[in-house]
Amino acid sequence: MTQQTEVLIVGGGIWGLSAAYHLSKFGQKDVLVLERNDDIAAETTPQAAGLVGQIRPSVTMLQAIRYALDLFSQFPRETGHDPGLRRTGSLMVALTPERMDAYARQIERSHRNGIEADFVSHAEMARLAPALDVTQIEGGYFVPNDGYLDPHQCALAYAAAAKDLGVQIQLNTPVTGFRQRNGEILGVETENGFIGANHLVITAGPWGAGLAKKVGATVAAQPIRHQRARTVPTPGIPDYHPAVRVTDVSCYLRPDKGGYLYGFFEPTPVSIDLEAMPPNFRTGDIEPPVAVMAEAQRRLAPTFPILKDLEIAEYRRGITTFAPDGAYLIGPVPGIDRLYLATGCAALGIAGSAAVGRWLANWIIDGDSGEDLTMFSPERFGSQAADQGWLRRESEQFYANYYGIRTDE
């Protein structure tokens, strides 16, 4: 069986669905999303924490998060589909004077960029997060316009809005190869036959680099385990409870389904070699993170002692994908016209999904992303991207120091 479409998106996770929505919103017709599973957003998307925070080291990412917050806030009214945004703010907790100094620099930078963010008293922190033991902390600041959302609900909202605008989604269709000629993409080979396309986008998360390799492109993306746990419901969590980041112990926490969802960036990261996995490997095949989340609980217990008494209702077996510098890998694939790639979410996949979808749509429709995205270029590492040892070492180091104190903040 042979099909033909104008725009083909390989990967039905949140980035692919956002791209599909933005393409259709901007007037692009004949868009098809391929997903290898029997449902969309079935791999890494629902494992995410869904934090949407504006405190970012680059103006490009700051603006991307602002766009996301605006889009998610307006989405129910504009599309009739709710991405589930809870705009309750972010509480940044410091355990040391050094972290407070870093926070002061972050607040100053935020004010220069028009972000509301200020130190708050211990009493106010206790009001915002009643289970927080403020006697154990140095201080903290609050970003009132931040938020969080349910990643799976958000992905489904993108999909529903895209389908309303004519996007087609085809499930159970793994891509087995690509067809190109004279430096132009022609389409993909699947188990059900060839699908031709004039424009093709790879948004397959941790599997993106492997798919790009099939067309001869080397992408510096390292999949790394990143897991979370959700507790059973507990009384006393107010509706206004913010997302909390205890950065000195590399942890974060937010309300979820009546309990707490928490996770952390492991100091000794565990990379995952997807090329060594069987073709049918899925995120759910990862071992439940019992020991990892026990360590996360131990780290959070001094500030959130309630966690010691709450049973775990769910383990989330996530995979995140990092480039060595922690920035996205987004843009045209070098040497192949009309082929685009978006991977390297760097634990900022949900919050960045809105801007990523818009950038990809602009590239396809206008031939330009609309912004200077040189910092995300898939070819920025040159030949060094092929050095697997370097890639793994640098990417793991960035992951392990995700909440490290930056001297340039």
- 135: CATH: 3.30.9.10
**Do 307 and 234 belong to one domain?**
yes
**Do 382 and 364 belong to one domain?**
yes
Name the residue type at position 230: R
**Do 305 and 333 belong to one domain?**
no
| Contact partners, residue 204, CB within 8 Å, separation at least 6 | 10, 11, 13, 16, 210, 211, 343
The boundaries of the domain holding residue 331 are 3-53+151-221+323-395
**Do 327 and 345 belong to one domain?**
yes
Domain assignment present for residue 213? The answer is yes
pLDDT at 409: 59
Of 318, 343, 364, the last residue of a domain is 318
Instruction: At 55, list the tokens.
Output: 């405190």
**Do 126 and 234 belong to one domain?**
yes
Q: Quick: pLDDT tens for 32-82.
A: 999 999 999 999 999 999 999 999 999 999 999 999 999 999 999 999 999
Of 272, 302, 318, the last residue of a domain is 318
pLDDT at 2: 78
**Do 142 and 120 belong to one domain?**
yes
Q: Indicate the DSSP class of residue 118.
A: E
pLDDT at position 1 over 90:
no
Q: How confident is the model at residue 278 (pLDDT cuts 50, 70, 90)?
A: very high
Return mean pLDDT, the chain.
97
Model confidence pTM above 0.75:
yes
Of 269, 284, 318, the last residue of a domain is 318
71: β partners: none
**Do 241 and 306 belong to one domain?**
yes
Domain assignment present for residue 266? The answer is yes
Q: What CATH number should be reported for the domain holding residue 383?
A: 3.50.50.60
Are the C-beta atoms of residues 136 and 73 closer than 8 Å to each other?
Answer: no
pLDDT at position 393 over 80:
yes
**How many CB atoms are located within 10 Å of the residue 287 CB?**
11
**Do 234 and 311 belong to one domain?**
yes
Token match 């217990």: residue?
A: 301
Q: Quick: pLDDT tens for 341-354.
A: 999 999 999 999 99
Q: Quick: pLDDT tens for 5-29.
A: 999 999 999 999 999 999 999 999 9
Q: Quick: pLDDT tens for 140-162.
A: 999 999 999 999 999 999 999 99
